[in-house]
Structure 1
Amino acid sequence: MSDRNRTLHVRIASTEETRADLRERVRALERGESPDEMLVLNLHNEADLARIVRPTTLELLRTIARRDPQSMREVADMVDLDYKEVHRNLTELADLDVIRFEETGRSKRPVVEFDDIEVEIPVSSDSAETDTASA
């Protein structure tokens, strides 16, 4: 990771909104523009967002980012939680693309590639109602 702060932008967006944003970024590239590099995580519902911002998850993310553990078991020891709970939480975060694992043999080293999380939650768009209802 570089010395500059990297922010993960998390937003709740419908599939169509996500596709429209992607199409606009492609058009910008075609015009010769260079869009800013961004880490963006588009979630389809608030339930997935809740998984990311719950206190235990934030503690795990902070521990990984600050202390660079070499395995899930080491994370569990650092936060003094049951290994099975940590394994479940970290696997869930990897499934949501919030963290990634570097595998060495049987060991999985969790990696956080951002310093901050910025959350965007729509409250007035139609997609917010639709996606929340489907959660």
Structure 2
Amino acid sequence: MTQTLHITIGTRPNRTGLEETLASIDDGEEVDPNPSRLSIESLATFGRIFRPTNLELLEAIVEYEPASIRELARIVDRHPPEVTENVHELADYGLIELEDEGRAKRPTVWYDEFEFSGDVPLHGLDTDSDAPVAP
């Protein structure tokens, strides 16, 4: 069964069901067939979270299953402190999990795909960020 994370741009973070889904997966339980949802508070935040460097990290985590953040940094050929910052941002939004592996943190992805939805009005956008905005 494909695990999908549905993502919308909203007025405040809404991680409805995300923590419960992650806990069920960790416990080896069947997960609710209703998809998990993540609401991102602004278009600027959406652009920051889904910038190319973060998408590269997500892809590398899925493809290579690194045992630690340091190994992930080697895979993407970036400095570990930068990767650590990006990984923690992704974890804060529930896009990855960090599993304790001794002294290391192992990044994992629990879903197979994203589904983006919602309307983005062209007025009242949060444009205070210099982060690039993903289409």
Residue 67 of structure 1: how far off its partner (Å): 1.3
What percent identity do the matched residue pairs reach?
36
Give unpaired runs (5+ residues) of structure 1: 23-34
**1:91: which partner in 2?**
88
Return closer, same or farther for 1:101/1:134 CA change in 2, 3 Å cut-off.
same
The one-character-per-residue Cα deviations of 1:80-128 (angstroms, maximum 9, x if unpaired) are: 111111101001111111111101232000011112112224234xxx8
Unaligned runs of 5+ in 2: 18-31, 130-135
1:46 alignment counterpart: 43
Runs (4+) off by over 3 Å: 128-131
2:65 matches 1:71: no
Among 123, 126, 131, the residue aligned to 1:132: 126
**2: distance between equivalents of 1:37 and 1:86?**
32
1:47 deviates by 2.1
CA RMSD of aligned residues (A): 2.5
The letter of the residue matching 2:126 is T
Q: TM-score, normalised by structure 1?
A: 0.71
Of Structure 1 and Structure 2, the greater helix share is in 1
Q: Does 1:11 align with 2:8?
A: yes
- Determine if contact 2:11/2:41 at 8 Å carries over to the other structure: yes
- The one-character-per-residue Cα deviations of 1:7-50 (angstroms, maximum 9, x if unpaired) are 211111124xx6xx99xxxxxxxxxxxx8421211111112211
Match of 1:58 among 24, 35, 55: 55
Q: Matched residue pairs, number?
A: 113
Residues 102 and 108 in structure 1, CA contact (< 8 A), matched pair in contact too: yes
Deviation at 1:134, TM superposition (A): 7.7
Q: TM-score by structure 2 length?
A: 0.71
Contact 2:44 2:128 in 1 (8 A): no
Q: In structure 2, what is the Cα distance between the partners aligned to 1:129 and 1:6?
A: 33
User: Counterpart in 2 of 1:111?
Assistant: 108
| AA matched with 1:47 | A
Closer, same or farther: CA 83–134 of 1 in aligned 2, 3 Å: closer
| Cα distance in 1, alignment partners of residues 40 and 128 from structure 2 | 12
